[in-house]
Copies of this chain bind each other. A is one copy, B any other.
């Protein structure tokens, strides 16, 4: 059993850092695209056999040290009753975004074993099929990120609808964020119960909030979700890309075992800033650097590993892998981590 990831999450000694990539089960793999030709994105997410097939691909093809269940952060709002579509080139969309107060009232509370059973079944199947080769990671979106999608209806540059809600109807925002924190937390705990050995929360739109709003509308709910997830006993990774300024607060407020570091943050700075805390770090190679030649990728990967220093570090990209990266380049990254040893 390759338990590098589990040991790194707990800052135990490791021969070398474990490595995986956000969006590693994704379009850059021809084998993924082959599955994707037979089924649309949401069908893949909702069909455990298909989800597990692509979940295992990067383990088999690239030798990463962890699998992450193939799914999407928007399954939670969908389970609460919002109609979701994912179109090629357009991305995920809610066709009736939350606008009036009544839209918020219509949302249902969820029982993960009922509405999100297909994710839990996929986790169970993946755990079985992996046979201990590498750990399986479960995940969910952060409450603020989910709410901003639910209000905007889709990805946005400035998130003005969602931010407008924060100043125009803060009580309504807080009420929904509280519901989302509990939904996300129980969903994560259910994934752990189904066999997930590590959990990650992606607060992907943290960058849309300045410090005051982040502290009021993102951090407390992220902390509540992480707290519920922690109670399951497995390590939790908290990732708030674009809010590199908040790494210390993220660690302190959430109590996560691991804090994700985005590619915009200097790896050495992150380590210095969090060095005194009992928290591991994950990240943070710029995914655009995978466009470089393989030997250049290896050199930049080694520099990143040197900066993090080995122990208590999970090697990863600082954001999801881009879909047009050559597989050989992803492999150059993985292999460079595997060849590296701490000084």
Contact = CB atoms under 8 A, between A and B. Distances in A.
Interface of A: 155, 157-160, 163-164, 166-168, 207, 209-211, 213, 242, 244-245, 263-266, 269, 286, 288-289, 291-292, 296, 318-319, 322, 324
Contact of A207 (B264, B265, B289, B291): B264
A27 to B, nearest CB: 13
Contacts of A166: 288
A263 to B, nearest CB: 5
A205 B289 CA distance: 18
Contacts of A210: 263-266, 286, 318
Nearest to A168: B291
A286 B209 CA distance: 9
A300 B168 CA distance: 14
Contact of A296 (B167, B289, B319): B167
Nearest to A289: B167
A136 to B, nearest CB: 28
Contact of A168 (B211, B245, B292): B292
Given A163-B286, A210-B263, 10 more contacts: A158-B319, A158-B322, A160-B288, A160-B291, A160-B324, A210-B266, A210-B286, A211-B265, A211-B266, A245-B264
Contacts of A322: 158, 160
B160 A213 contact: no
Given A291-B164, A291-B168, A286 B213 contact: yes
Nearest to A214: B264
A210 B213 CA distance: 24
Which has the most chain B C-beta neighbours within 10 Å: A164, A213, A266? Answer: A164
Nearest to A244: B245
A269 B245 CA distance: 11
**Sorted from nearest, which 9 A-B pairs have the closest CB atoms?**
A163-B288, A167-B292, A164-B291, A211-B266, A210-B263, A210-B286, A167-B291, A210-B264, A160-B322
A296 to B, nearest CB: 7
A322 B263 CA distance: 28
A158 B292 CA distance: 16
A166 B292 CA distance: 9
A17 B35 CA distance: 60
Contact of A164 (B163, B245, B288): B288
A7 to B, nearest CB: 28
A164 B329 CA distance: 13
A297 B207 CA distance: 22
A65 B231 CA distance: 55
Nearest to A91: B157
Contacts of A157: 155, 157
A286 B324 CA distance: 35
B291 A163 contact: yes
Nearest to A155: B157
A291 B162 CA distance: 11
A282 to B, nearest CB: 16
A207 B164 CA distance: 23
A239 to B, nearest CB: 16
Contacts of A213: 286
